[in-house]
Amino acid sequence: MSRFLKFTLVAGLTISVTATAVWSGEYGLGRPALPEEVAAWDVNVMPDGRGLPEGSGDVWTGEQVFIENCAVCHGDFAEGVGNWPKLAGGEGTLANEDPLKTVGSYWPHLSTVWDYVNRSMPFGNAQSLSPDDVYAITAYILYSNFLVEDDFVLSHENFAEFEMPNADGFIVDDRAETEYATWHGEPCMENCKDSVEITMRAAVLDVTPEEAGAEAEEAAAPAAEEPPVEVAAAEPETAAAPDPELVAAGEKVFRQCKACHMVGDGAKNRVGPQLNGVMNRAAGAVDGFKYSSALQDMAADGLVWNEENLAAFLADPRGFMNGTRMGFGGLRSDEDIAAITAYLSTFGE
């Protein structure tokens, strides 16, 4: 049995097409997808772990894979480079006027991290990572947000057990029921207001247009001189032997620094200088290492890495030394700073 269809073309011509009456599907096109074809497209990973492939990855493997594939945009410590997204930090800032939304502070489900990395990263070479690599990178991102310890291993077996800090920070979008009914009428698309007034300024992004002439006045104004950084003098007295428990804690904290710095026998310069004998040493004194101009300037002013200066630098590297090349965002607690200082004090020249 067949049907006779007639199509009238724009030019006024009429053609006839004969088609079988037994068509597959409502529109007579295609065929049902095969199970293997559906499986190839069904790559969603759900919060409860459904859709995950078998595999696992630990923090330290993740660090290496992350540095090789992700650090060029996101920094060695997931702190972000330039305008590329920060993946770590922002803890406790969501209620601030200028919140920092990262994986650790904002994302509600770990499955979103795994799924996005697996589908879309690294930039320009998406889906080149193995499942184990993606598990390892996800574990390292958690570690960079201080959500797991350095011996953490993430796998398809324990994935669903991990709950993100902001898991309860989202609500169901009910605007279709509560708000849409109040939006009626045709939207205004031009000349909707008689005048436009700037009521707030995007100070952080510096995108609010200035009033006429303001830019020229600002350019003509002399730049304010920044106050010189006060550098504490070196402490001549030899400190007492550090607490062994504090040293052990510092060794653990120092694992965050190992990607760039070495200590101990055979320590060599890497991305950062080796740190043997760093305590109470003049800044910029390691042979063979090319320091940033910012550090060289402060070294010329007499900067010494005593406890006070080292603590200030470790807490806020960029705040202490504007222009430093160290990408690490800083240690988050005084306890960690005291511990790593005690640990470094055990290594002589």
Q: What would the pLDDT profile of 60-74 be if each residue is shown by its tens digit?
A: 999 999 999 999 999
Asked if 94 and 121 sit in the same domain, the reply is yes
Q: Tally helices (H) and strands (E) across the chain.
A: 12, 4
Q: Is 16 helix (H, G, I), strand (E, B) or coil?
A: strand
Asked if 31 and 60 sit in the same domain, the reply is no
Residue 96, in any domain of the structure = yes
Residue 147, in any domain of the structure = yes
Asked if 62 and 156 sit in the same domain, the reply is yes
Phi/psi at 184 (nearest 5 deg)?
A: -140, 165
What residues contact residue 231 under an 8 Å CB cut-off, 6+ apart? 298, 301, 302, 303, 304, 309
Q: What would the pLDDT profile of 327-336 be if each residue is shown by its tens digit?
A: 677 787 888 8
pLDDT at 2: 41
Q: How many domains does the chain have?
A: 3
Q: Are strands 56-58 and 2-8 parallel, antiparallel or unpaired?
A: unpaired
Residue 262, in any domain of the structure = yes
Residue 340, in any domain of the structure = yes
Given a cut of 70, whether residue 33 has pLDDT beyond it is yes
Given a cut of 70, whether residue 227 has pLDDT beyond it is no
Range of the domain at 256: 244-344
CA atoms within 13 A of residue 56's CA, in its CB half-sphere: 8
Distance CA 195, CA 178 (A): 31
Q: What would the pLDDT profile of 285-309 be if each residue is shown by its tens digit?
A: 888 888 888 888 899 999 999 989 9
Mean of pLDDT over the chain: 82
pLDDT at 233: 53
Percent of the chain exceeding pLDDT 90 equals 36
Q: Which helix (H) or strand (E) holds 154?
A: strand 153-155
pLDDT at 209: 64
pLDDT at 225: 55
Residue 257, in any domain of the structure = yes
Asked if 290 and 325 sit in the same domain, the reply is yes
The tokens of 330 are what? 């800083």
Query: Angle of helix 59-69 relative to helix 131-144, nearest 10 degrees?
Result: 100
pTM: 0.52
What residues contact residue 241 under an 8 Å CB cut-off, 6+ apart? none
Pairwise pLDDT comparison (57 vs 295), residue with the higher score: 57
- Kindly state the average pLDDT of the residues 88-95: 92
Residue 318, in any domain of the structure = yes
The tokens of 138 are what? 């996800």
Q: How far apart are the first and last CA of the chain?
A: 94
pLDDT at 29: 84
Given a cut of 50, whether residue 197 has pLDDT beyond it is yes
Asked if 64 and 36 sit in the same domain, the reply is no
Residue 146, in any domain of the structure = yes
Highest mean pLDDT among 145-154, 244-253, 263-272, 282-291 belongs to 145-154
CA angle 63, 269, 296 (to 5 degrees): 110
CATH of the domain at 78: 1.10.760.10
